[in-house]
Structure 1
Amino acid sequence: MATLLLLLALIFEIAFTVYSIVTKETHKKLKSWIRIGILAVFVILTLSQIIEWSFRWVMLAAFLFILALKSAVSLIRKKTPHYKTSSVVWKSTFILFALVFTAAPAIVFPQHKAPKVTGDYAVSTATYTYVDKKRIEEFTDTGANRFVNVEFWYPENADGSYPLLVFSHGASGIKTSNASTYNELASHGYVVASIDHPYHSFYTSSEDGTKTMINSDYNLEVSNANKEGVYSKEETYGLIQKWMKQRTDDMNFVIDTILAKTKTDNDFVYQHIDTDKIGVFGHSMGGAASVWLGRERDDIRAVVNIDAPFFSDLVYKKEIDDYVAKSEAFSTPLLNIYSDDVWNQLDSNSTYVANKLDNEQFNDAFTVHFKGAKHLSLTDLPLFSPILANILQGGKADIDKYYSIETENKLILQFFDYELKGIGQFTPEKTY
């Protein structure tokens, strides 16, 4: 929609400029009426919900309003400016650049249909900020306690108790990275708590409105760790331990806080959690942290790992300067969902050495491969911003973005239904 509107506007401006130059007239009156008409059409499209009003349209709407207002004033004054080619060209050039600039948010973040939500429950959300009084924030020197922002997706007007699922985002993601998954799960009777890991997330907003951006040093560490020759394998292993401690400490704190609140807090969300049925899942670094918790906590009954290495099972051997897999069986039910980006690394002796399909410590794990998918295909980003997704993951994925996320959501729901609710059988295909 945004691209089409921008294209039409650009064609009009260029055509009208050429027309003015050929006829050597400004045609000010006609142009003014057309610009007023364009604003009217934009308003009609918005009111009819063909254009879904959101942040993406604010700048363009403001610019169209300014143009229409200026045109209305020009019509009232009835002043016909003297034609001058250079003036017509410069004004047109400015309008063209302004249109592209103000339409950019709607192009980068286009309107898109939401993935299917198939459950019977309507879904509500709630956001809270938890402060960990046992930890001092390591990313600042203020001496403040570590805080974590958590958003819940849960069945609206629920009358029962439902399993708790805790999600952890990727290295520089945000807590809403897989919002379509949370909606699908909540619609089927789950309480989903998604965590923003401050300074690991691209940005997070606390209950009091405070915004916290990603830490530049951490972001550089992650970037350099994905490049050859920047860090030694021993240095990379040390970074992994640091990152995982931050992540798992956050997740443990959130789960423990929620469990405590189910006993003391009358908030609707907490009173509908079945504390005997807890699952964790995450994408990328969040998936690695989820598997780690599956080893640490006895109350975790199911884990979904989305495109992540088993950092919990990675051991660095100094004598061979390489990684090996831990020799300890993983007993928590586990579903692995891999894109091509990870699947193609499973046979290498990299940080994915523990993920190898022949690793006997994970004999009971379910593993599926989304052929043609890239790393971010397993999040909502390709829907929310295809341009950003393609830039961040180095190109467009071959898999259909709706097929990818809706199939992923279906598999995660079926897995948790089977492991936490005892519903049906879970027999996924190996490749999708």
Structure 2
Amino acid sequence: MSSAGSKGMFAMILLILLLFFEAALAACRIKTSSVCHGATAVLRAASVLILVALAALSVATWGFRYYAITAVLVVSAVVNAAGSLRKKEAGAKLLPARIIRRAAGMSALIIIALLPAVVFPEYRPLPTTGGHRVETATRHFSDEERTEAYTKQGGARELAVEFWYPENAEGSFPLVIFSHGSFGTRTSNETLFRELASHGYVVCSIDHTYQCLYTTDRSGKVLLINGEFMNDVRRENAREDKSRSLELYKEWMEVRTGDIAFVIETVKADASDAIHRLIDTEKIGVIGHSLGGAAVLGIGRMRSDIGAVVALEAPYLCDILDVQNDAFVLESAAYPVPVLNIYSDSSWPNLGKWPQYAKNVQLLSGSDKDIHNLHISGAGHLSLTDLSLASPILTRVLNGHSSSLNAEDCLRRINEECLAFFDRYLKEAGAFSIK
């Protein structure tokens, strides 16, 4: 079992234990027809002490996951103590219905309060395998040449980017740009970023403002995903309305490829930044997941300075040129850059059914030795991101199907293949073949 899975199981055990305590209290109250202040005090104190002990023993790490449940238990203990001092209930009787309602209400509070620990269990990040220690830094770039389309105020488009790079290293390193999925964030594949950086790459991940779940501007203000964009992504259906889908693809790709191109040009032009000086701008690779993968596939065709592309379950949206006779018209020119397409069980059985993946299907049977295709069996769409570590439950729900492959094993496989791919095409270190 993965570390996230074991910690998630711990949260479930804690939940079951606390619910058992509530059931025991309810049984005591029904039997005695009283509040049972003494038993309540013992169980409330025991519950709080269990949390404290687990944190002290490092079984659980104190943090946001346990704030709510601790507050619920402490407040209920205080209320019980106050009630025991205020009331002398020798003759007071409680009806079973009231006892059951009280137990149900407290149980509901416990479930809600423990949801953060169950949905987002603690986990250990995968250890890096390279020789470099990894440092991170955040930068904010402002593109004065483009007007922000997602706000009424307009103004320059602002981007938050984060770098992962070798710490205290000498020399220059290839640059890898990452573009997240439609509701993702710049940290969605940090496991991969850290692994690449430990092996001598500078990774730059972009928050595509208003196309990411959230980001922050220079002042620290939180900017949430644009509602219209989110609704368009959810409603888009290429099988029902290809013309509308193509309109949306062009709109989304214009924003995304513009962001990626702007970041590349900024890094190239600004040698005053210490991180930028670490970058060998003659060696640039790109990675993207889902909609971000479509964007990097597009930028790979648009720019001659891109040396390698990795697409994590993404269609070639920029290769869709038109709609004729209810079919997408595709770019006929060969794809100009070495590419690694990685698929999960979410898309693999459906590639021939989803019109936007028509180019992917063509390349599966192509003869170009620099076009590589990998299907990771047992994984789902979001299993290709670190969400599978951070929230196995949410990953299962959003994937829409179970994943038989362990999250850590899946991410290790992605790390290994991406590292070997970039080593071959950016560092020219030997041949590449999918393991």
Aligned match of 1:209:
220
Find 1:238's aligned residue among 221, 241, 247: 247
Aligned match of 2:6:
none
Q: Is the 8 A contact 1:330 1:361 kept in 2?
A: no
Alignment of 1:126 onto 2:134: no
- Structure 2 counterpart of 1:84, which letter? L
- C-alpha spacing 1:363/1:352, structure 2 compared with 1 (3 Å): farther
Aligned match of 2:70:
61
Count of aligned pairs between the two proteins: 422
Alignment of 1:29 onto 2:34: no
Deviation at 1:411, TM superposition (A): 0.7
Residues in 1 aligned to 2:170 and 2:45: alpha-carbon distance in whole angstroms: 53
Instruction: Indicate the percent of aligned positions where both proteins have the same amino acid.
Output: 38
Alignment of 1:340 onto 2:345: yes
Deviation at 1:41, TM superposition (A): 2.0
* SS at 2:355 equivalent: coil
Residues in 2 aligned to 1:187 and 1:307: alpha-carbon distance in whole angstroms: 25
Farther off after superposition, 52-61 or 305-314: 52-61
* SS at 1:153 equivalent: strand
Residues in 2 aligned to 1:69 and 1:207: alpha-carbon distance in whole angstroms: 43
Deviation at 1:249, TM superposition (A): 0.3
Deviation at 1:8, TM superposition (A): 0.2
- Structure 1 counterpart of 2:305, which letter? D
Find 1:88's aligned residue among 89, 93, 99: 99
Aligned match of 1:322:
327
Residues in 2 aligned to 1:178 and 1:345: alpha-carbon distance in whole angstroms: 24
Residues in 1 aligned to 2:171 and 2:330: alpha-carbon distance in whole angstroms: 42
- C-alpha spacing 1:222/1:104, structure 2 compared with 1 (3 Å): same
Instruction: Give 1:33-432 correspondences, 5 Å limit.
Output: 33-71=42-80, 73=82, 77=85, 79-81=87-89, 82-85=92-95, 86-226=97-237, 228-229=239-240, 232-261=241-270, 263-265=271-273, 267=274, 269-318=275-324, 320-348=325-353, 350-356=355-361, 357=363, 360=366, 362-429=368-435
CA deviation profile, 1:222-246 (whole Å, cap 9, x unmatched): 11213743xx212211211111001
- C-alpha spacing 1:342/1:104, structure 2 compared with 1 (3 Å): same
Deviation at 1:139, TM superposition (A): 0.8
Residues in 2 aligned to 1:311 and 1:197: alpha-carbon distance in whole angstroms: 17
Residues in 2 aligned to 1:71 and 1:353: alpha-carbon distance in whole angstroms: 64
Unpaired segments ≥5 residues, structure 1? none
Residues in 2 aligned to 1:28 and 1:327: alpha-carbon distance in whole angstroms: 78
Q: Is the 8 A contact 1:36 1:72 kept in 2?
A: no
Q: Is the 8 A contact 1:315 1:325 kept in 2?
A: yes
Q: Is the 8 A contact 1:333 1:365 kept in 2?
A: yes
CA deviation profile, 1:386-412 (whole Å, cap 9, x unmatched): 222222221222322222111111111
- C-alpha spacing 1:74/1:154, structure 2 compared with 1 (3 Å): farther
- C-alpha spacing 1:315/1:143, structure 2 compared with 1 (3 Å): closer
CA deviation profile, 1:91-116 (whole Å, cap 9, x unmatched): 32221111011111111111223234
Residues in 2 aligned to 1:51 and 1:366: alpha-carbon distance in whole angstroms: 42
* SS at 1:351 equivalent: helix
Residues in 2 aligned to 1:99 and 1:348: alpha-carbon distance in whole angstroms: 44
Residues in 2 aligned to 1:60 and 1:409: alpha-carbon distance in whole angstroms: 36
* SS at 1:106 equivalent: helix
TM-score by length of 2: 0.91
Deviation at 1:55, TM superposition (A): 2.0
Residues in 2 aligned to 1:171 and 1:51: alpha-carbon distance in whole angstroms: 32
* SS at 2:42 equivalent: helix
- C-alpha spacing 1:160/1:61, structure 2 compared with 1 (3 Å): farther
Residues in 2 aligned to 1:360 and 1:29: alpha-carbon distance in whole angstroms: 75
Q: CA RMSD in A?
A: 2.1
Residues in 2 aligned to 1:316 and 1:359: alpha-carbon distance in whole angstroms: 23
Residues in 2 aligned to 1:162 and 1:88: alpha-carbon distance in whole angstroms: 67
Alignment of 1:2 onto 2:11: yes
CA deviation profile, 1:297-342 (whole Å, cap 9, x unmatched): 1211111011001122223243x33113312122212111111222
Q: Is the 8 A contact 2:37 2:81 kept in 1?
A: no
Q: Is the 8 A contact 2:309 2:338 kept in 1?
A: yes
- C-alpha spacing 1:327/1:25, structure 2 compared with 1 (3 Å): same
Residues in 2 aligned to 1:402 and 1:39: alpha-carbon distance in whole angstroms: 32
Residues in 1 aligned to 2:332 and 2:202: alpha-carbon distance in whole angstroms: 34
Unpaired segments ≥5 residues, structure 2? 1-9
TM-score by length of 1: 0.91
Deviation at 1:12, TM superposition (A): 0.9
Farther off after superposition, 339-348 or 91-100: 339-348
CA deviation profile, 1:246-304 (whole Å, cap 9, x unmatched): 1000111111112222x122x3x223222222110000111111111111112111110
- C-alpha spacing 1:351/1:15, structure 2 compared with 1 (3 Å): same
- C-alpha spacing 1:287/1:402, structure 2 compared with 1 (3 Å): same
Residues in 1 aligned to 2:139 and 2:82: alpha-carbon distance in whole angstroms: 49
* SS at 2:280 equivalent: strand
